[in-house]
């Protein structure tokens, strides 16, 4: 199976390393970063390209752009792993539309296009009879989408609630465990590489809300937008509030929650008993899915990381390969 990868940040490099190190039967025939691109229908030499990227800062031919690769390379699946632009979804959306128009499957870790244009992407995919998969957009390494779309197929999902942002969870864990103030815990998260220089998206609850939009649209096909989510971040939480919760064998977590029958669509700090299954530590993510037949299913795992995101992307690639192959 031939894949073209657009984006050579930590996710793109993670995928390349996994494909290079494992015998998965995948051949990379197109590759682009923000400065260059390359194509080889017989398969790119991954180790050479990774070395080139490390040494000179770009991967291929500067006269080729990402869109050239999308439009011209010979591939079965476009793997779109450029950074998320949550306001426009571009340029990822353009790459995906072009690939789908060529009859190619798409796998992405990019939250922007999925949160903004879910219905449009699905209808385009149906029209061109291709798959669009986005496991890596929610819950990192946890196969949330596989569970919702396949494992729990036939169930009516009544509600989802969970921890979808590892940065916030790390900060809250540290505030509770060490009595740190919010600024102290945020500083520690930055030093550990868990928070970006501008942590706004994470700590204000926007990243978790974007993931809740993706979950809601996947499950209930309701065309939910980010504006529909009631959002409260963790940046106003005091050490006192956490101490008060701890005194009652509870703690505080940033919970994303959707319960359509009760009109609930929100991201907010909530007090939970310490032995609640969702109370996970550090940068872990956790999601409880409430259904009519299976009852409550809870999934826990790493919500971010280069290898972990690569795991989700590769799971999607292999799913497209294995389910398509059956029919031939």
Q: Which of residues 7-36 bind a copy of itself (CB under 8 A)?
A: 18, 22, 24
Kindly tell me which of 96 and 279 has the beta carbon lying closer to a copy of itself.
279
Backbone angles phi, psi at 178, to 5 degrees: -115, 0
**CB within 8 A of 98, min separation 6: which ones?**
67, 70, 71
**CB within 8 A of 198, min separation 6: which ones?**
none
- Stretch near a copy of itself under the rule CB under 8 A, chosen from 92-100, 109-117, 188-196, 297-305: 297-305
Q: Does 197 bind a copy of itself (CB under 8 A)?
A: no
Helix 111-128 with 206-220: angle, nearest 10 deg? 20
x-or-dash pattern for a copy of itself, window 105-144, by CB under 8 A? ------------------------------x-----xxx-
Q: 116, 109, 37: which is closest to 70 by C-alpha?
A: 37
Question: Do 20 and 44 form a contact (C-beta atoms < 8 A)?
Answer: no
62 is catalytic: no
Among 34, 65, 155, 184, binds a copy of itself (CB under 8 A): 155
Active-site residue, selected from the candidate residues 53, 111, 211, 302: 211
- Stretch near a copy of itself under the rule CB under 8 A, chosen from 103-111, 162-170, 209-217, 318-326: 318-326
| DSSP-based three-state secondary structure for 231 | strand
Kindly tell me which of 148 and 195 has the beta carbon lying closer to a copy of itself.
148
- Stretch near a copy of itself under the rule CB under 8 A, chosen from 49-57, 88-96, 183-191, 272-280: 272-280
Tell me how far apart the alpha carbons of residues 304 and 94 are, in angstroms, rounded to a whole number. Answer: 25
Least distance from C-beta 55 to a copy of itself, angstroms?
A: 26
Question: Do 274 and 249 form a contact (C-beta atoms < 8 A)?
Answer: yes
Question: Do 251 and 274 form a contact (C-beta atoms < 8 A)?
Answer: yes
Q: Which residues are catalytic?
A: 211
Q: Which residues bind a copy of itself (CB under 8 A)?
A: 18, 22, 24, 135, 141-143, 146-147, 150-156, 274-275, 277, 279-280, 291, 293-302, 305, 307-308, 310-312, 314-315, 317-319, 322-324, 326-328
């Amino acid at each position: 199976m031939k894949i073209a990868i657009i984006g050579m940040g930590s996710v793109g490099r993670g995928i390349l390393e996994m494909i290079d190190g494992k015998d998965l039967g995948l051949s990379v025939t197109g590759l682009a970063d923000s400065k260059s691109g390359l194509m080889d229908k017989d398969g790119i030499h991954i180790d050479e390209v990774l070395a080139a990227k490390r040494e000179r800062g770009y991967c291929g031919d500067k006269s080729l752009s990402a869109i050239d690769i999308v439009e011209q390379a010979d591939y079965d699946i476009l793997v779109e792993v450029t950074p998320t632009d949550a306001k426009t979804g571009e340029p990822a959306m353009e790459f995906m539309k072009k690939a789908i128009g060529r009859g190619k499957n798409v796998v992405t870790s990019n939250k922007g296009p999925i949160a903004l244009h879910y219905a449009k992407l699905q209808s385009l995919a149906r029209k061109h009879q291709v798959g669009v998969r986005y496991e890596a957009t929610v819950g990192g390494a946890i196969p949330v989408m596989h569970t919702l779309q396949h494992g729990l197929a036939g169930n009516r999902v009544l509600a989802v609630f969970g921890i979808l942002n590892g940065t916030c969870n790390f900060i809250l864990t540290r505030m509770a465990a060490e009595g740190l103030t919010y600024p102290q815990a945020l500083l520690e998260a930055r030093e550990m590489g868990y928070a970006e220089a501008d942590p706004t998206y994470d700590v204000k609850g926007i990243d978790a809300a974007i993931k809740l939009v993706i979950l809601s649209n996947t499950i209930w096909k309701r065309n939910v937008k980010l504006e529909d989510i009631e959002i409260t971040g963790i940046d106003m939480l005091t050490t006192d509030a956490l101490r008060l919760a701890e005194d009652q064998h509870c703690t505080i977590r940033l919970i994303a929650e959707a319960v359509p029958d009760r009109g609930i669509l929100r991201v907010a700090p909530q007090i939970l008993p310490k032995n609640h299954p969702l109370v996970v530590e550090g940068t872990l993510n956790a999601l409880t899915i409430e259904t009519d037949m299976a009852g409550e299913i809870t999934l826990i795992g790493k919500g971010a990381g280069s290898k972990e995101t690569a795991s989700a992307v590769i799971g999607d690639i292999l799913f497209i390969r294995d389910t398509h192959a059956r029919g031939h």
